[in-house]
Structure 1
Amino acid sequence: MSGVGRALELIGREDPRLCAFIEVWFERALADAERARGLPLAGMPFAVKGRTGIRSYAARRLIEAGGVPVGATSVPGPGTPWQTWGLGTHGRTVNPWRPDRTPGGSSAGSAVAVAADLVGLATGSDGAGSVRIPAAWCGVFGLKTTNGLLPSPDRTGLASAGVLTRSAAGARTYLAAVLDDCEPVPPVLPVPAVLSPDLGYADVDPEVAAVVRRAVGRLVAAGVVRLMDRTCELLDPREAWQAVRVGSPSPRAEEIRRVNDTALDALFARTPLLLTPTTPNRPHGHDGPGELFSTALTWAFNLSGHPAASVPAGFTADGCPVGLQLVAERGADVSLLAMACAVEEALTTVRP
């Protein structure tokens, strides 16, 4: 059986439980797999985010390289707060690790499809953390590319293309397909890095913070990173992000953005890597996050434009995955992925 055939069989068996897909293209995918045999990706099955995902630049490039889209993954349903969950054909999308918890959003189904091994790669988009948050909460790798690096339909400039894969190494396939120049350069280890548990403003769950600190400690012990004696403290970007999103700038919002951009430019002029928890909280229930902002540690980099990734860091005592966020200089997407691969290799044993 082909890779596409196996993926379709798994989706047919598992998706009624997971609700990761809103459409599955059985006949079309099997036909496309035959036509893609002689191309570089040789019929590799992948999923796209939402019904419009098939028209995205990334999906078109993957198809040109011989990838085969097998279906469209779930996003939040009509009237659903975007922070909470996805709505698939069979119902609300569940977290594969904890079905009583959300997988995060808005690339909910893409993260679940990858976490449950239905596909090895799924496209996403990230305007506030919509790739990195579900990646963290589903225990997979997620990458938000540098804002503007790839075409995006989002006129605010906040959203950029992204990908979810089982591993950082798996995301090389994505970058090789969507970028004209993607020659990886192995990082010189240890990579100088700054650890900021809260970016100076976020209220982080103590257990989430502890999981991330232990993971970073392992990276230091393994010689992957060298922590610099400094931190990164920003202004809370909430007001600035919301002003850009609704197209209503204010002097205060512009000042927040200016101060944060200046701080990040200074940091990356001296240090190639910033480390934070991906989210301040663990996955919440399907009734929503309440007053919590799961985006507290991600949306700063949608405003600034920096590429950012989430790598699995470990689990809380109640079985919830935790992500470690890696941020690099604008345009350093290929280097960031190489650093993420080194990080991931040192943290492989944290996954049960």
Structure 2
Amino acid sequence: MDDALHEMTATRLRDLLRAGELTPTEVADHYLSRIERANDGLGAFVSVTPEAARERAAHLERDTRDGGDGPAGRGVLWGLPGGDKDLWLRAGVPARFGSRAFAGEDAVVAPVSDEIVDVLDAAGMVSLGRTTAPELGFPAYTEPLAGPVARNPWDPSLGAGGSSGGAAVAVAAGLLPCAPGSDGGGSVRIPAAACGVVGLKPSRGLVPAGSGQESLGGLVVDGPLARTTEDTALLLEGMLTRTPDGRVAHPLTLRAPSARAGEYLAAARRGEVAGSGGEDVQGRFRVAVTTDSAWDDFYAITTSDEARAALDAGVATLTGLGHEVDGLSLEPDPTYGPAFRTLWMAGASAVPLDDPARLDRLEPLTRWLIGRGRQVPARELAEALRALTAFERRLVAQVSRFDAVVTPALAMTPRPLGWFDPEDPERNFEQQCQYTPWTSMLNVAGLPAITVPTRWTDDGLPMGVQLIGRPGGETTLLALAAQLEDRLRWADRRPPAW
């Protein structure tokens, strides 16, 4: 069975682990072996921690034997391998944040882990190491000068997107069955789309350990990446801290509506959502389609032929499934571009680096963001936040008229390594917005969104669509994604790097 473990879905592995037909050690060893063979060529992991992973797997097994109630009671991700994004802290493990400024002796070795790491541990996941991220998570591509570069498994001369680029590569190449990431402007959805896997950005406030409420402007939320919709829902369930009665335990007053325990998995498994009485409802959803972007009034945004073909493929499938599909023109907002740039730079200003020598080790884009951010007056930031709050209200109102809104996932095919200008930060930022114009506006609005592949180009590259939901609308997005997957069968495809 071991030779075929990486062919299995995360949900299938979970079932075999719970049944006692596999052990966490067997699964960890299999994936560690795959990482050892393939990681140098793909750059999915910046560091691998085999000893700690095996010790953790053995601990899960001992704990189950000693507890006597079996693995089913040990968390929804019990025994599944995963990875910590290199922006997160795990106690005792050096964190470099994709930056030369934190290399060598300057790496951060924290005495305690970040909350999301603790939550995934509590759910039973076994971390195999740290997945690659770009410098401090700011770029939409994962090519840090500190290394390694995350290479696209479909064509290693191309990038994997970012900032959860290493996580997406690991999932697409079969080095992990699923992987957690974080998304501040598209950082789960962009690499998922570039690598041909599923990526979900939850509603602001849904995932307690990565709710968005701790970040400036409420942008950054944690979310799952996986090959299948069901696996995506499984990992989402594991990222939710629940009370004994199944409710999501929220430490803050603002929270998104959350499903009952297991409801996300049910939606992803059956392509249905629960009605008000708890019954399963498939029926027809009302879906809108748009290529309008919040960046249209600031940068020249062009939707490539490949992006349009992927959108057409997704829309045709939704239409064939019987859904009501309409067009949608988003209201233009010339304030969005300047306000978002101000917010992004202001967020960068808080990076805890003041030593000029270490600041000089930063890449030009990051140094520019931090430098500009530290010059932003308080009044300008307040005005930007006010403008983006008004934008959020308008976008939520437009989206909420529908069960889901569909856009292209990316405006272009996965970009060649080195395509984003390494020396001109202004041009670099513009390129990122042109590559992925439909993602950041959903972080601003706090809306849930999922990207799924819908077709492959003649060159064998994945392209897909983004489904946007109402606030708290994850079950509908997972149901629609499951229906698309049932028709399009994207998980049956394997990249050459597999």
Fold conserved between structures, TM > 0.5: yes
Q: Is 2:153 the partner of 1:74?
A: no
The structure-2 alpha-carbon separation of the partners of 1:253 and 1:81, relative to structure 1 and needing over 3 Å to count, comes to: closer
Q: Is 2:292 the partner of 1:213?
A: no
Q: Tell me the alpha carbon deviations over residues 227-268 of structure 1, each in whole angstroms, 9 at most, x when there is no partner.
A: 035444443633222222234436577446524532431431
| Whole-angstrom CA distance in 2 between matches of 1:315 and 1:168 | 18
Q: Is 2:215 the partner of 1:154?
A: yes
Check the 8 A contact 2:399/2:469 in 1, yes or no. Answer: no
Q: Tell me the alpha carbon deviations over residues 309-340 of structure 1, each in whole angstroms, 9 at most, x when there is no partner.
A: 11111122332211210111112223322332
Q: Tell me the alpha carbon deviations over residues 133-155 of structure 1, each in whole angstroms, 9 at most, x when there is no partner.
A: 00000000001111232334533
Give the aligned CA root-mean-square deviation in angstroms. 2.6
The structure-2 alpha-carbon separation of the partners of 1:64 and 1:151, relative to structure 1 and needing over 3 Å to count, comes to: closer
**Sequence identity of aligned pairs in percent?**
29
Check the 8 A contact 2:142/2:166 in 1, yes or no. Answer: no
Worse-superposed segment, 28-37 or 68-77: 28-37
**1:15 aligned partner:** 39
Q: Is 2:85 the partner of 1:49?
A: yes
| Whole-angstrom CA distance in 1 between matches of 2:419 and 2:304 | 17
**1:340 aligned partner:** 481
| Whole-angstrom CA distance in 2 between matches of 1:118 and 1:88 | 23
Q: Is 2:243 the partner of 1:182?
A: no
Q: 1:284 aligns with which of 388, 391, 415?
A: 415
**1:143 aligned partner:** 200
**1:324 aligned partner:** 465
Shift of 1:162: 1.2
Q: Is 2:20 the partner of 1:5?
A: no
Q: Which amino acid aligns with 1:107?
A: S
Q: Is 2:428 the partner of 1:297?
A: no
The structure-2 alpha-carbon separation of the partners of 1:64 and 1:246, relative to structure 1 and needing over 3 Å to count, comes to: same
Q: Which amino acid aligns with 2:221?
A: S
**2:399 aligned partner:** 267
Shift of 1:44: 0.7
**2:53 aligned partner:** 29
| Whole-angstrom CA distance in 1 between matches of 2:302 and 2:87 | 35
The structure-2 alpha-carbon separation of the partners of 1:92 and 1:43, relative to structure 1 and needing over 3 Å to count, comes to: same
Give the structure with the higher percent strand.
1
Q: 2:452 aligns with which of 305, 311, 328?
A: 311
**1:226 aligned partner:** 324
Worse-superposed segment, 100-109 or 283-292: 283-292
Q: Which amino acid aligns with 1:52?
A: W
| Whole-angstrom CA distance in 2 between matches of 1:164 and 1:266 | 27
| Whole-angstrom CA distance in 2 between matches of 1:254 and 1:36 | 48
Check the 8 A contact 1:222/1:346 in 2, yes or no. Answer: no
Tell me the SS of whatever aligns to 2:84. strand
Worse-superposed segment, 113-122 or 178-187: 178-187
Check the 8 A contact 1:86/1:109 in 2, yes or no. Answer: no
Give the structure with the higher percent helix.
2
Q: How many residues align?
A: 349
Shift of 1:51: 5.2
Q: Which amino acid aligns with 1:289?
A: F
| Whole-angstrom CA distance in 2 between matches of 1:262 and 1:60 | 36
Q: Which amino acid aligns with 1:76?
A: P
The structure-2 alpha-carbon separation of the partners of 1:239 and 1:88, relative to structure 1 and needing over 3 Å to count, comes to: closer
Q: Runs of 5+ in structure 1 lacking a partner?
A: none
**1:61 aligned partner:** 119
Check the 8 A contact 2:197/2:452 in 1, yes or no. Answer: yes
| Whole-angstrom CA distance in 1 between matches of 2:114 and 2:223 | 11
Shift of 1:113: 0.3
Check the 8 A contact 2:442/2:449 in 1, yes or no. Answer: yes
Q: Tell me the alpha carbon deviations over residues 175-217 of structure 1, each in whole angstroms, 9 at most, x when there is no partner.
A: 2222224342523232210011234734211221122112210
Q: Runs of 5+ in structure 2 lacking a partner?
A: 3-25, 62-70, 91-112, 243-259, 274-281, 347-379, 422-429, 494-498
Tell me the SS of whatever aligns to 2:54. helix
Shift of 1:341: 1.9
The structure-2 alpha-carbon separation of the partners of 1:257 and 1:346, relative to structure 1 and needing over 3 Å to count, comes to: farther
**1:235 aligned partner:** 333
| Whole-angstrom CA distance in 1 between matches of 2:446 and 2:389 | 11
Tell me the SS of whatever aligns to 2:168. helix
Q: Is 2:258 the partner of 1:169?
A: no
